Amino acid sequence: MKRTVLQMLRTSAEKYPKTAYTNQKGDSGWLGLTYPEVLHESRFLAAGLHQLGIEKGEKIAILAEGRNRWITGEFGILFAGGTTVPLSIKLMPDEVLFRLNHSESKAVIVSKNTFEKVASIWTQLEFTRKIIFLEDDLESIEKDCKEFGINTLKDIVRYTDVLQTGKHQFEEEEPYLNKIESELAEDEVVTISYTSGTTGDPKGIMLTQLNYFSNCTDAMGYFNIAERDRLYIILPLDHSFAHTVGIYAGLLRGLSLYFVDARGGGVQTLKNIPINLVECNPHFILTVPALSGNFMTKIKDGVAAKGKFVNGIFNAGLNAGIRINRDGFRKAGFFVRLINFIPYKLADALVFKKVRLIFGNSIRYCVGGGALLDIRQQVFFCSIGVPVYQGYGLSEATPIISANTPETHKMGSSGKVIPNVDCKILRADDSEADLGEKGEIVIRGNNVMKGYYKNPVSTAKTVKGDWLYTGDLGYYDKDGFLIVVGRGKALLISSDGEKYSPEGIEEAIQNSSELILQAMVYNDMKKYTTALVTLDAPKIARYVEKNKIADSEVLLKAIKLDFYKFKETAEYRNQFPEKWIPSTFQIVSEPFTEQNHMINSTMKMVRHKIQEAYHDKIEVMYTSEGSNAVNDINRQTVKKYLPFNQ
């Protein structure tokens, strides 16, 4: 049997004939497609795509929210012998333009919410000749078509029309489709997934049939997910974690996927998340630190609003749970469990049980990926009974490399490496590091990408022989857990040449502070470390009002104290060498966002863009005036938060 995702779909259609594979919210409730229905619709769509002029080996991009037709669209492209280019709905039009032109996509599948992004760049597209519109209502985009010069008869075709054409012509097309599938090689490219470009131009990661087949098989065997579990997908499907686990790994266990209701656009989607959670009642959720961090904040704020008594029980139970669970791998001893039993059980019965209902009444756990998950989130969710199991991966590795599981986990780690993946830690001279010694994480396995599309130079730097050089730093602890400490390309360098990761320090600042929203720690061979920070405007406003602050220096000193609060927080105390901790900071007047291109579509800071935009502020911090955060420039910045701007 060929190790391909098409074979995986065929097998699941036989094994789970009555299970709904995909589910999306419609006007009349949740609309599901069974595994056989997805298979048949994908085949009809493939026939329609060939009738549309799509040939074997050509690329089609998908720029849409997660939905049933994303899944059938992707499989339809693959059955037609094409390659999918998944794109983030958060991309700016110029970023979409680069990816469509670089990938040479012949068509792009869009939704009503994303149509304008493609319409606005239509005349600049070099290869794309067709827009496939997922909705049935073309009238909703007539205005954009006229504005951007798009011919609705020539340039656009509805998904349903492609599907109907395929159904009518299927008997004629079937021999062609069967030939494509029979000749399909395991090393043929399934997707070209673009990096987010946090450290430079995005690169197109080519992932093959075997990449997906092996990574899904190895990860699902290791994680031991139950058959027919319900999986709620909040992450966009272009995200490599959601793409692999949702679309493909789900095939192996007959999972039912539920997509967040994205009708109405971004703001409405956020409002729908908690509603959909209860409605679909998932067994587990895929998450990233930004998302789980938002959940944690809202839970804490919601409990605090119930008053001091409830909040007191909650916090006592939370701390008791943290002491009982310890790091998860080694639980507390009998005496510690005994003295914490009552406060924990009381909180669980009176508060935690109600909090868990936010996630429905079937939730077992969440699986975290995408970035390092702060230890405070891990211990928090473990205590309330909805653990978030941190994993580690890389899009170039399809993406799963290691994971914590319900059976084997240690908080603060990225778990153990999944079966059939070799992983070692290398020193700068390529020799293997000792146990506990930090070095670059390097992996080998069938999950390693084919290469970067049209970029042999970057491919050669990243894949050497069979080994993928991740660019991430980590080490193995004494229990065999992989500890990831940061992105190699984001490393800071002190004046003595020592390299260190800023990510842990940034997490510490952001998670301990009440007034600081974001922090980007910086050092490029300077004598001390610095930081650029943004402020949480609503919290600053409440703090100013509560403390009746009318002087900028008083506010600035309070912000400085708040900035260093992590040094006295139990989870972070003595965790970082003093020379890694910023000696000063400059306040940036607006947050880092996707709109100003300083946050990418996976919610990570785009460091080089922030450094370029605030080059002058960085330089100021290495002058005598800026060496202390309480300086005139910061005083001027915080004045806008004061009454009458005094």
Task: Say if 329 falls within a structural domain.
Answer: no
Comparing 505 with 486, the larger pLDDT belongs to 505
Q: The domain that contains 566 carries what CATH number?
A: 3.30.300.30
CB atoms near residue 143 (< 10 Å): 11
Highest mean pLDDT among 17-26, 266-275, 543-552: 17-26
Of the ranges 7-16, 254-263, 452-461, 486-495, which one carries the lowest mean pLDDT score?
Answer: 486-495
Task: Say if 13 falls within a structural domain.
Answer: yes
In three-state secondary structure terms, 493 is strand
Task: Say if 283 falls within a structural domain.
Answer: no
The per-residue pLDDT for 368 is 85
Chain centroid, CA 380 distance in Å? 20
The per-residue pLDDT for 602 is 67
- Long-range contacts for 88-92 (Cβ within 8 Å, ≥24 apart)? 88/236, 88/238, 88/239, 88/601, 88/602, 89/63, 89/64, 89/65, 89/113, 89/114, 89/236, 89/238, 89/601, 90/236, 90/594, 90/601, 91/63, 91/117, 91/601, 92/117, 92/594, 92/597
Q: What gap in Å lies between CA 139 and CA 152, rounded to an integer?
A: 10
- The half-sphere exposure of 350 on its side-chain side, counting CA atoms within 13 A, is 18
User: pLDDT category, 531, cuts 50, 70, 90?
Assistant: very high
The per-residue pLDDT for 77 is 98
Task: Say if 23 falls within a structural domain.
Answer: yes
Domain boundary among 212, 239, 273: 273
Task: Say if 235 falls within a structural domain.
Answer: yes
- Locate 344 and state its tokens: 């924990």
Q: The domain that contains 18 carries what CATH number?
A: 3.40.50.12780
Q: Does residue 75 surpass a pLDDT of 80?
A: yes
Task: Say if 284 falls within a structural domain.
Answer: no
The per-residue pLDDT for 497 is 66
User: pLDDT category, 197, cuts 50, 70, 90?
Assistant: low
Range of the domain at 535: 491-645
CB contact set of 514 (below 8 Å; sequence gap of 6+): 536, 539, 543, 562, 565
Sign of CA dihedral 266, 272, 276, 278: positive
Task: Say if 168 falls within a structural domain.
Answer: yes
The per-residue pLDDT for 535 is 95
Task: Say if 303 falls within a structural domain.
Answer: no
Question: What are the tens digits of pLDDT across the range 212-266?
Answer: 999 999 999 898 889 999 999 988 899 899 999 989 999 999 999 999 999 888 7
CB contact set of 257 (below 8 Å; sequence gap of 6+): 21, 22, 23, 71, 231, 233, 246, 247, 250
Mean pLDDT of 164-183: 97
Mean pLDDT of 148-156: 93
- Locate 260 and state its tokens: 């967040």
Domain boundary among 273, 293, 323: 273
CB contact set of 307 (below 8 Å; sequence gap of 6+): none
Q: What gap in Å lies between CA 515 and CA 503, rounded to an integer?
A: 19
- Averaged pLDDT of the chain: 92
- The half-sphere exposure of 221 on its side-chain side, counting CA atoms within 13 A, is 11
Total domains, the chain? 2
Q: Does residue 199 surpass a pLDDT of 60?
A: no
Taking a C-beta distance cutoff of 8 angstroms, is the pair 244, 205 a contact? Answer: no
User: pLDDT category, 500, cuts 50, 70, 90?
Assistant: confident
User: pLDDT category, 577, cuts 50, 70, 90?
Assistant: confident
Question: What percentage of the chain carries pLDDT values higher than 70?
Answer: 97
* Beta pairing class for 492-494 and 524-526: parallel
Question: What percentage of the chain carries pLDDT values higher than 90?
Answer: 76
Of the ranges 60-64, 90-94, 114-118, 225-229, which one carries the lowest mean pLDDT score?
Answer: 90-94
Domain boundary among 273, 306, 335: 273
- Long-range contacts for 532-537 (Cβ within 8 Å, ≥24 apart)? 532/585, 532/586, 532/588, 532/610, 532/614, 532/617, 532/618, 533/509, 533/563, 533/585, 533/586, 533/587, 533/588, 534/587, 534/588, 534/590, 534/591, 534/592, 535/559, 535/587, 535/638, 535/641, 537/641
Mean pLDDT of 540-556: 91
The per-residue pLDDT for 373 is 79
